[in-house]
Amino acid sequence: MGTVERAGDATSEMESGEEEIVGGGELAQHLMQSGLTRGEMLAAITNRIHAETLASLPPNVRRRIRALRSLQKDFVDIEAKFYSEVHALECKYEKLYKPLFEKVSQIVNGHYEPTDEECQNPWRDDSEEEELARAVQNASLTEGEDKKEGNDNKPTEFLLEVYEECQNPWRDDSEEEELARAVQNASLTEGEDKKEGNDNKPTEPPMDPNVKGIPDFWYTIFKNVAMLNEMMQEHDEPIIKCLQDIRVQMHEDPFGFTLEFHFAPNDYFTNTVLTKEYSMKCKPDDDNPLEFEGPEIYSCKGCEINWKKGKNVTVKTIKKKQKHKSRGSVRIVTKSVQADSFFNFFSPPAVPEDPDSDIQNLLTADFEIGHYIRERVVSRAVLIYTGEGLDDDDDDYEEEEDSYSDEDSGTEEVSDAED
């Protein structure tokens, strides 16, 4: 919170009108020496500009602004009470959601087979899905027949003429031709079906009595949610496929919630449940009450994972070369370092009293992930699995480069050693 305090000092200085305004060059030099990040410096400069604007107003106008601030504080106090009551309602309704989440888990994991009545969705028309499935199937069938018969002509004379007019000799358009042919074949066979009155649904695959529940349900959700997919490494995937359920336990006092990740027996760890507990507060800060924007997570606690021997995916071993300072001889030593893994989620960094920007960024990202899983993933699991409930942000999500470097297992480093 050092940034807020520094910026706040500048603001209060300008509002009082009792101290001299520091010049732009002097302010810039002061900020450069303060150790702030670029973003923090920009925020401080912006606050300073706002403070200068306030300082230029007549005293009677500044007095009225102070009255508005007092009223704003009253708004904040009411808002804090509102959010506290909302959280109490969430805790109350969690008890109503619980049997529904339990049935979801039973169906997903094959412990309960839903009845025909439970499988009815009267508000939903599945005809579009059936037509799409039929078109895809017909396209596949006719394409296969064309290949058997050696019918590799370009689609229709008209399309051929257009194709010749649009020739780009430097470009291979075979992919476009194949796509056009598939679309045409799908349209032709669909037209023939309508003429012949053949409006049957596409052939259903046979029932497989060995398939229980919905295989890879949570793994598919991880793949569909960009944030989780980026966290999940290739070596994490076999473990995520053992994930059976994610549940949320709300806490009214103290204010917060716990995420529970339930796993089937696996080859990696002995835990059946991994937990991540988040502590929240819904009280305006005494020093900066007007910055209150609702409940916020201020700390989190993971759990110890009891890894089986040689199965810890959060650690990797690298080899390093050490050169003796006096003799010049070189020896190879091994060192264990942290590896990228989703399961680092259960070992969050400790929250110091005055965290630096790197720790703060890690904590902020961790809090956002926990909040997203609680608010969006758990309550909309089936819609994320089918793709219907994906946010637009997931489509627009871009990967960012990590601010730290990762050493591969084959990396070798040379360091000087005394002994």
> Could you read off the pLDDT of 126-138 as tens digits, one per residue?
666 676 666 666 6
The predicted structure's pLDDT at residue 77: 93
**Mean per-residue pLDDT, 209-222:** 94
Asked whether residue 9 carries a pLDDT value surpassing 60, the answer given is no
Please count the residues of the chain.
Answer: 419
The predicted structure's pLDDT at residue 178: 66
Best CA proximity match to 87, nearest among 299, 250, 277: 250
Spatial contact of 55 and 17, defined as CB atoms under 8 Å apart: yes
Q: And the tokens for 157?
A: 């004379």
CB atoms under 10 Å from CB of 61, counted, come to 10
Q: In whole angstroms, give the CA distance from residue 245 to residue 273.
A: 9
**Mean per-residue pLDDT, 245-265:** 94
Best CA proximity match to 275, nearest among 177, 382, 373: 373
- In order of 260, 327, 346, 355, the CA distances from 363 in angstroms are 19, 46, 12, 9
Least confident of 16-20, 66-70, 268-272: 16-20
The predicted structure's pLDDT at residue 186: 58
Q: And the tokens for 189?
A: 């066979």
Q: In whole angstroms, give the CA distance from residue 242 to residue 228.
A: 16
Best CA proximity match to 252, nearest among 93, 399, 395, 118: 93
Does domain 217-417 bear CATH number 3.30.1120.90?
yes
pTM of the model: 0.66
Least confident of 21-35, 77-91, 212-226, 336-350: 21-35
Asked whether residue 151 carries a pLDDT value surpassing 50, the answer given is yes
Asked whether residue 14 carries a pLDDT value surpassing 70, the answer given is no
Q: CB neighbours of 409 closer than 8 A, spacing ≥ 6? A: 316, 317, 318
Helical (H) or strand (E) element with 146: helix 127-149
Burial letters 246-256, b for 16+ CB under 10 A, else e:
bbbebeeeebb
Q: Where in the chain is the domain with CATH 3.30.1120.90?
A: 217-417
Q: What is the gyration radius of the CA atoms in the chain, in angstroms?
A: 31
